């Protein structure tokens, strides 16, 4: 559950075009090939509380692996500009060694069992995770709970982990795409909680001490701020006792999640960073509904359709760019974007904006629309193949999607999307586009990017 890169791979885009053609065939097969119904899925999932800690368990009888995640609520809202990155660093160092499992012992045990611990952070939450085989889950759980509750936070582990993160952060600006993402965050997240990068900055990380991690760990390890999700062949009653013996002994605390303000898309804008690159890197960002918004599903279809259109018009028909794209994020304060790398930035963006205009003004034809909901069914089932992906999905819905039960209605809601719904969300959200550019300012016609100025 780390903060993933913003852009989809080229292979993913090509795969999309293939799936769109065949998606209804595949989707029908997916629904008739033993996939549990919504009611059956719900029967596999149970939830309970232990001293204020909510636990969600999905039992997959016969599954050879078990995955779990201990999630910290709040994400960037837990941070300030001065503490950006401390939660991510704390979890990364905690996963290195613990009171009962020193570094070498932990590594040997995890390697012997082919188990793994991991961690990651994004704008809305963080996680410490485990994956193991079913037969090694008991021992892996011991390591996992000890790392979460009793991390060693040795100076050696702190220096090693922080050094690796600092190197990665300092190298971000080398890639034009990473520089574009950084510019996007600076512009779009200004005066918003998301402005505190969960991964931190070289300046904030350089200022942290080991004692800062210990203090932060103590602060967030309260059951009211945590969520535990487990997926695999695990008996919920047995797990409940184990949770009571470990995480259940934490203080309850009084954490209450603060409301997340909306991002500012009151008017279009253009921000350019002058850089000598072979081609201009461009992204246009606009508002999008979050997972708990009824518009989310129609917007997902709309963005997939727009993605197909920009690839066809910009790449296939005119060869203006190898990798144009359109996609939607999955944040609580959500956005969508169009993206292109092109020497002729003006023509590429003009064409992409025309496709948005057509979608807003004329909607989509039935034959264009056919297959897209089915594509989402196909990709949904593919993503649900691993226990780890199901842990992530249940947690995402629980934390930012109005509750884990809403995840069970994904298929029904996607199938309910109609062409008129796509036009409605296009009109509502695909406007006041805020462009960021890494490249040559002299090659950018501002009247194309921000036509209202």
Q: Looking at the structure, do residues 55 and 81 belong to the same domain, yes or no?
A: yes
Q: Look up the CATH number of the domain holding residue 330.
A: 3.30.830.10
Residue 305 inside a domain? The answer is yes
Q: Looking at the structure, do residues 228 and 280 belong to the same domain, yes or no?
A: no
Task: Find all residues with CB under 8 Å of 132, minimum gap 6, and list them.
Answer: 65, 66, 113, 114, 115, 116, 139, 140
**In which domain, by residue range, is 233 found?**
37-249
Residue 5 inside a domain? The answer is no
Per the DSSP assignment, residues forming a β-bridge with 274 are 439
Residue 368 inside a domain? The answer is yes
Contact between 270 and 312 (Cβ < 8 Å): no
Residue 343 inside a domain? The answer is yes
Contact between 336 and 326 (Cβ < 8 Å): yes
Asked which of 205, 228, 249 is the last residue of a domain, the reply is: 249
Residue 82 inside a domain? The answer is yes
Q: Looking at the structure, do residues 78 and 173 belong to the same domain, yes or no?
A: yes
pLDDT the model gives residue 373: 64
pLDDT the model gives residue 382: 85
Q: Give the number of domains in the chain.
A: 2
CA 283 to chain centre: 18
Q: Looking at the structure, do residues 19 and 113 belong to the same domain, yes or no?
A: no
Residue 1 inside a domain? The answer is no
For residue 139, what is the DSSP state?
A: H
Q: Looking at the structure, do residues 77 and 166 belong to the same domain, yes or no?
A: yes
Asked which of 220, 249, 278 is the last residue of a domain, the reply is: 249
Asked which of 226, 249, 272 is the last residue of a domain, the reply is: 249
Residue 4 inside a domain? The answer is no
Q: What is the pTM of this model?
A: 0.90
pLDDT the model gives residue 14: 34
* Pairwise CA distance, residues 67 & 60, whole Å: 11
Q: Looking at the structure, do residues 229 and 284 belong to the same domain, yes or no?
A: no
Q: Looking at the structure, do residues 276 and 360 belong to the same domain, yes or no?
A: yes
Burial of 240: CB neighbours in 10 Å, binned 0-12, 13-18, 19+: middle
Q: Looking at the structure, do residues 339 and 215 belong to the same domain, yes or no?
A: no
Convert the pLDDT of each residue in 315-329 to its tens digit: 999 999 999 999 999
* Pairwise CA distance, residues 276 & 440, whole Å: 7
For the chain of 453 residues, list the mean pLDDT of each consecutive stretch of 10: 38 34 33 55 93 98 97 98 98 98 98 97 98 98 99 98 95 92 97 97 97 98 99 98 98 94 97 96 98 96 94 94 95 98 96 97 85 75 90 98 95 90 97 98 96 68
Q: Looking at the structure, do residues 386 and 421 belong to the same domain, yes or no?
A: yes
Convert the pLDDT of each residue in 262-314 to its tens digit: 999 999 999 999 999 999 999 999 999 999 999 999 999 999 999 999 999 99
Query: Among all chains, which residue has been given the structure tokens 């509904």?
Result: 289
Task: Find all residues with CB under 8 Å of 186, minimum gap 6, and list them.
Answer: 195
Q: Looking at the structure, do residues 356 and 294 belong to the same domain, yes or no?
A: yes
Residue 116 inside a domain? The answer is yes
Query: Among all chains, which residue has been given the structure tokens 């496709």?
Result: 355
Q: Looking at the structure, do residues 277 and 371 belong to the same domain, yes or no?
A: yes
Question: What region, left, alpha or beta, does residue 135 occupy, with left being phi > 0 and alpha being psi -120 to 50 degrees?
Answer: alpha
Q: Looking at the structure, do residues 212 and 341 belong to the same domain, yes or no?
A: no
Q: Where are the beta strands (DSSP E) in 322-426?
A: 325-328, 335-342
Contact between 109 and 101 (Cβ < 8 Å): yes
């Amino acid at each position: 559950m780390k903060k993933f890169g913003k852009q989809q791979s080229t292979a993913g885009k090509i795969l999309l075009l293939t799936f769109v053609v065949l998606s209804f065939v595949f989707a029908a097969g997916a629904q008739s090939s033993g996939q549990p119904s919504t009611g059956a899925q719900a029967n596999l999932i149970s939830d309970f509380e232990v001293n204020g800690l909510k636990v969600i368990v999905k039992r997959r009888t016969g599954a050879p692996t078990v995955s779990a995640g201990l999630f910290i609520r709040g994400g960037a809202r837990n941070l300030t500009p001065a503490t950006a990155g401390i939660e991510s660093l704390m979890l990364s160092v905690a996963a290195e060694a613990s009171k009962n499992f020193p570094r070498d012992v932990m590594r040997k045990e995890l390697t012997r069992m082919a188990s793994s611990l991991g961690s990651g952070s994004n704008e809305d939450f963080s996680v410490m995770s485990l994956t193991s085989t079913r037969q090694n889950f008991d021992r892996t759980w011991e390591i996992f709970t000890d790392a979460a509750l009793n991390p060693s936070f040795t100076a050696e582990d702190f220096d090693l982990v922080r050094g690796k993160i600092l190197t990665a952060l300092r190298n971000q600006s080398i890639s034009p795409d990473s520089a574009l993402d950084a510019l996007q965050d600076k512009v779009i997240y200004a005066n918003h909680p998301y402005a505190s990068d969960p991964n931190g900055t070289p300046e904030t990380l350089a200022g942290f001490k080991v004692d800062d991690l210990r203090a932060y760990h103590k602060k967030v390890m309260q059951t009211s701020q945590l969520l535990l999700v487990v997926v695999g062949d695990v008996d919920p009653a047995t797990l409940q006792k184990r949770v009571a013996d470990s995480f259940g002994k934490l203080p309850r605390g009084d954490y209450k999640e603060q409301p997340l303000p909306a991002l500012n898309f009151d008017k279009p804008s253009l921000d350019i960073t002058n850089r000598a690159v072979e081609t201009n890197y461009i992204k246009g960002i606009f508002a999008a509904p979050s997972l708990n918004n009824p518009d989310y599903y129609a917007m997902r279809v709309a963005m997939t359709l727009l993605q197909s259109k920009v690839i066809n018009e910009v790449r296939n028909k005119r060869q203006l760019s190898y990798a144009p794209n359109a996609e939607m994020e999955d944040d609580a304060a959500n956005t969508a974007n169009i993206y292109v790398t092109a020497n002729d930035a003006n023509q590429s963006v003009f064409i992409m904006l025309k496709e948005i205009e057509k979608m807003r003004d004329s909607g989509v034809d039935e034959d264009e629309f056919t297959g897209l909901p089915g594509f989402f069914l196909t990709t949904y089932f593919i993503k649900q193949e691993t226990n780890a992906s199901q842990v992530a999905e249940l947690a995402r819905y629980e934390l930012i999607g109005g509750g884990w039960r809403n995840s069970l209605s994904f298929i029904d809601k996607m199938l309910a999307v109609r062409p008129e719904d796509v036009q409605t969300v296009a009109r509502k959200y695909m406007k006041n586009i805020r462009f960021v550019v890494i490249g040559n300012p002299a090659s950018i016609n501002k009247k194309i990017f921000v036509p209202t100025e």
